[in-house]
C-alpha cells in the first residue's frame, strides 16, 4: 500500500495517543509480554509512521512489560536456495564470499516491515544471535526471550517463540493475519509425528570469534506458512482471539499458548491426518 493509499483509507491520522487507546481497547495491558507482527501500511496514515507505532506499543505495555518482534534476515542464507526472487547462479560465489556476516546491531531485517526496523533501533533492545530468524526484545523479559537462540531448529523449542509460550505471553498481529505469525512455526515443530519430516540443512553467514566471516550449517524442519492463514481463521472461530480496530487496520490479540496448542492439533489433523 502506498502512502496515498494509506491516506485514502483513513478518516484521520492515527497518533501515538489514538493507537494506544486502540491497543488498550483490544486488550493490550501494562506488564504484558507481547510478540508483535505488523504492517505499517495496513494501519492507514500514522502521524510519525513506524516511530509512532513503536512508541504506542511500548507505552501500552509500560516499563514492566516486554515487546518482542521477529527480525529475520533471510538475505544471509545460502544464495542458491533463494526463490523470492532467485539470483543468477553466476552471482552465488560473490554473495557467499562478500556478504557481511550477521551483526545483531547492524544487520537489517528483510521483509519484516518498517515497524520492526524502527523497533530494533530503540536503545536497550536485545537481538538474538540467530543469523536468519532472530528476534529482538525490549523489557524485563528480553534476556530470557532472546538471550539464547541456538542455530539448530531455531523456530522450535530453542526459539524465542518457545520462551514466549513458556512465559504465557501474548501474540499481537497488527494489520496482518496468521500467515505472519511466527509462533505457528513452534506449532509446526510440535506437530511433526514420530518419523515425520526429516531435518534438512540450511546455511548462513556468521562472524567467528576472531572477527572473520564464516558459513555455518544448521538443521531445521521444512517450514511452510501456506496454510497458516487457514489455521488462523479456524483459531479465531474458537473465541480465543480478540479482534479490533487499530488505526485503519485490524489488530488480533491472543495468548501464545492458546494459538500454539490449537495450531499443533490443527496441523496434526490437516497436514498429517492424525
| Helix, strand, coil shares, percent, the chain, to 5 | 35, 20, 45
Query: What φ, ψ does residue 142 adopt, rounded to 5°?
Result: -60, -45
* Contact (Cβ atoms closer than 8 angstroms) between residue 207 and residue 213: yes
**Confidence (pLDDT) at 162:** 98
The H or E element that residue 86 is part of is none
User: Under a CB-based contact definition with an 8 Å cutoff, are residues 208 and 214 in contact?
Assistant: yes
| pLDDT score for 2 | 74
pLDDT value for 197: 67
If you search the block for the grid coordinates 505472519, which residue do you land on? 180
For residue 1, give the nearest of 229, 176, 155 by alpha carbon: 176
Total Cβ atoms within 10 A of residue 40: 23
* Per-residue pLDDT reduced to its tens digit, 40-49: 999 999 999 9
Q: Would you state the pLDDT for residue 272?
A: 78
Residue indicated by cell numbers 501515538 = 16
3-class SS of residue 228: helix
Residue spans of the chain under pLDDT 70: 1, 195-198, 201, 274
Peptide bond into 85 cis (omega under 30): yes
Of 57, 54, 47, nearest to 22 by C-alpha is 57
Phi, psi of 228, deg, nearest 5: -65, -35
Residue 228: which of 274, 260, 181 has the closest Cα?
181
Q: What is the CA radius of gyration of the chain?
A: 19
State the DSSP code for 14: B
Burial 207-217 (b: 16+ CB within 10 A, else e): eeeeeeeeeee
The two most distant CA atoms of the chain are separated, in Å, by: 55
> What is the pLDDT, as a whole number, of residue 253?
98
**22, three cell numbers:** 486502540
User: Which segments of the chain does DSSP mark as H helices, in order?
Assistant: 3-8, 16-26, 50-61, 92-98, 114-119, 142-146, 160-166, 183-191, 228-236, 256-270
Amino acid at each position: 500500500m502506498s502512502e496515498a493509499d494509506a491516506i485514502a483509507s483513513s478518516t484521520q491520522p492515527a497518533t501515538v495517543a489514538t493507537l494506544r487507546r486502540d491497543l488498550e481497547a483490544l486488550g493490550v495491558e501494562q506488564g504484558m509480554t507481547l510478540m508483535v507482527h505488523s504492517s505499517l501500511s495496513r494501519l492507514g496514515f500514522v502521524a510519525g509512521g513506524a516511530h509512532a507505532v513503536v512508541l504506542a506499543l511500548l507505552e501500552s505495555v509500560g516499563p514492566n512489560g516486554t515487546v518482542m518482534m521477529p527480525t529475520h534476515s533471510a538475505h544471509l542464507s545460502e544464495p542458491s536456495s533463494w526463490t523470492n526472487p532467485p539470483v543468477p547462479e553466476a552471482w552465488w560465489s560473490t554473495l557467499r564470499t562478500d556478504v557481511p556476516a550477521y551483526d545483531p546491531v547492524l544487520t537489517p531485517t528483510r521483509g519484516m516491515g518498517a515497524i520492526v526496523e524502527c523497533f530494533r533501533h530503540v536503545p536497550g533492545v536485545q537481538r538474538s544471535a540467530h543469523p536468519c530468524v532472530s528476534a529482538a526484545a525490549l523489557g524485563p523479559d528480553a534476556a530470557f526471550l532472546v538471550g539464547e537462540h541456538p542455530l539448530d531448529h531455531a523456530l522450535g523449542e530453542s526459539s524465542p517463540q518457545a520462551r514466549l509460550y513458556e512465559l504465557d505471553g501474548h501474540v499481537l498481529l497488527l494489520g496482518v493475519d496468521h500467515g505472519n505469525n511466527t509462533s505457528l512455526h513452534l506449532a509446526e515443530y510440535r506437530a511433526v509425528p514420530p518419523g515425520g519430516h526429516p531435518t534438512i540443512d540450511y546455511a548462513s553467514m556468521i562472524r567467528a570469534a576472531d572477527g572473520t566471516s564464516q558459513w555455518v550449517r544448521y538443521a531445521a524442519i521444512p517450514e511452510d506458512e501456506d496454510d497458516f492463514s487457514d489455521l488462523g481463521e479456524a483459531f479465531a472461530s474458537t473465541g480465543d482471539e480478540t479482534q479490533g480496530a487499530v488505526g485503519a487496520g485490524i489488530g488480533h490479540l491472543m495468548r501464545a499458548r492458546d494459538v500454539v496448542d490449537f495450531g499443533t492439533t490443527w496441523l496434526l489433523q490437516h497436514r498429517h491426518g492424525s
